[in-house]
Chains A and B, each alone.
Chain A
Amino acid sequence: MSIETPAVKKSWLTPFNVVVGLIILIGAVITALRFTKGLGAVTNLSDNNPWGMWIAFDLMCGVALAAGGYTTSTAVYIFGLKRYHSAVRPAILTAFLGYSLVGFALLYDVGRPWRLPYPFFVQSGTTSVLFEVGLCVMLYLSVLFVEWMPAALERLGFSKIRNFVVKLILPLTILGVILSTMHQSSLGALYLIAPSKLHPLWYSGYLPVFFFVSSIAAGLSMVIFEGTLSHRYLHDKMDETYLREHDEVTLGFGKGAALVLAGYFLIKVVGITIDDNWHYLGTGYGTWFLVELLGFVALPCFLFALGVREKNLTLIRGAAVLTVLGIVLNRFNVTLVAFNWQLPAAERYFPSWMEIAISLYIVALGLTIFTFISKNMPIFYEHPNFKEHEPPDLHEHKLKRHPQTFGH
């Protein structure tokens, strides 16, 4: 591993930097338009469709795809699967940035963004599911910030504070699982209030369960996907431990994702059965539902299982990409495609190019910050001064780890 910066200076004008820079520039212009001219100037939102692209992609997909943080830290610190330890920091960083950008995106979407803290400090709507989502996301963002802090403190050399924060990791992981379980499911529960607006194939009393279970698959797949990209573009920032454990993480998380997707597929079928919605499968919406269920749930589930069986890491990585796309498709279907399905075509919502540009702008910001932090903090390598100071896990004192627990 080479932590030191190479002596040869590389040009900043890489294709990645140019494209990302261009997106950020366009995003900055639209940001100015949004906050000077209002929502109407940049979005196609209406009274029929007050939640659009920014809720579907930035919030719903953002939260689901940031689930890698709680799934990985749970696997390592609560289930005691220490062989996946090197995946924790990248996953926590991805989750922390994901949730931060969810909050950032909300500033664009909420009509009066300066009132975003009102539900917590001024006027709490304690009977509202949205209040619970907001509270959980705010608390979990704080938890992720503390979980991410050791990397920054190690970089700054604040060893005493760092050692204190590391002691908090286990209770914070437990709190993080509770908060994630609550708000991942509550995002689905938001739609329980609109049975007449959401197509019956996507509407179900089990929506919270669907959202929660699919978020686990999304989290596991994102760790594999993000690990693959990092392995390719940030290889020089990885130490031997990370590189050695990388394949094992892919294989173990692939097995976990296969099982979770199998469970998700089955409960989706139970959802159709319980509501007796089989006859809708013959319609246009039914075909689209089957594309989502078979093409982006059943197929990656099978590919994950085949990849694990054959120890084929390429297949597992492909399945992870398909799963991530499937989760994005599902959240888009619930929030946009199958929502207001009975309205005439002229009143249906389609995002404006500026809404899409802002979503790309937020992704570009996330990528830039992730790359910056990964290059400047011990994310893919252990800081040489702190190698012996790992946080304790639940199994450390009471239970002896069993080699067959989860993974391979």
Chain B
Amino acid sequence: MENNFYTLHDFLLYTKGAAYYLMGAMLLGIFGFWHFMTGRDEENDIK
């Protein structure tokens, strides 16, 4: 895929916009990761 960027501003708007979406997804990802890693601890604590 070829991207045509006319100015540095256009480029940054595009990449930083993508990074912001990515960071939102990461926040959810890290939450899921932590839940996966420590899920058993919580189950054991309840028992």
Residues of A within 8 A of B (CB): 255, 258-259, 262-263, 266, 269-270, 273-276, 279, 305, 308-311, 408
Contacts and interface: CB of A to CB of B under 8 A. Distances in A.
A273 B11 contact: no
A308 B40 CA distance: 9
Interface of B is mostly: helix
Given A270-B19, A270-B23, A274-B19, A262 B39 contact: no
Interface in B4-40: 11, 14-16, 18-19, 22-23, 26, 29-30, 33-34, 36-40
B15 A305 contact: no
A294 to B, nearest CB: 15
B38 A266 contact: no
B18 A309 contact: no
Nearest to A269: B22
A131 to B, nearest CB: 31
Contacts of A269: 22
B36 A305 contact: yes
Contacts of A308: 37-38
Contacts of B33: 258, 262, 305
Contacts of A273: 15, 18-19, 22
A279 B1 contact: yes
Contacts of B30: 262-263, 266
Interface of B: 1, 3, 11, 14-16, 18-19, 22-23, 26, 29-30, 33-34, 36-41
A128 B47 CA distance: 58
A309 B40 contact: yes
Given A262-B30, A266-B29, A270-B23, A276 B37 contact: no
A276 B14 contact: yes
A216 B29 CA distance: 21
A251 to B, nearest CB: 11
Contacts of A274: 15-16, 19
B18 A305 contact: no
B40 to A, nearest CB: 5
A379 B26 CA distance: 41
B26 A276 contact: no
B32 to A, nearest CB: 10
A280 to B, nearest CB: 12
Nearest to A267: B26
A263 B14 CA distance: 23
Contact of A266 (B14, B16, B26): B26
Contact of A275 (B15, B22, B37): B15
Given A262-B30, A310-B40, A276 B22 contact: no
Q: Which of B22, B26, B29, B37 has the most C-beta atoms of chain A within 10 angstroms of its own C-beta? A: B37
21 contacts: A258-B33, A258-B37, A259-B34, A262-B33, A263-B30, A266-B29, A269-B22, A273-B18, A273-B19, A273-B22, A274-B15, A274-B16, A276-B18, A305-B33, A305-B36, A309-B36, A309-B39, A309-B40, A310-B40, A311-B40, A408-B41
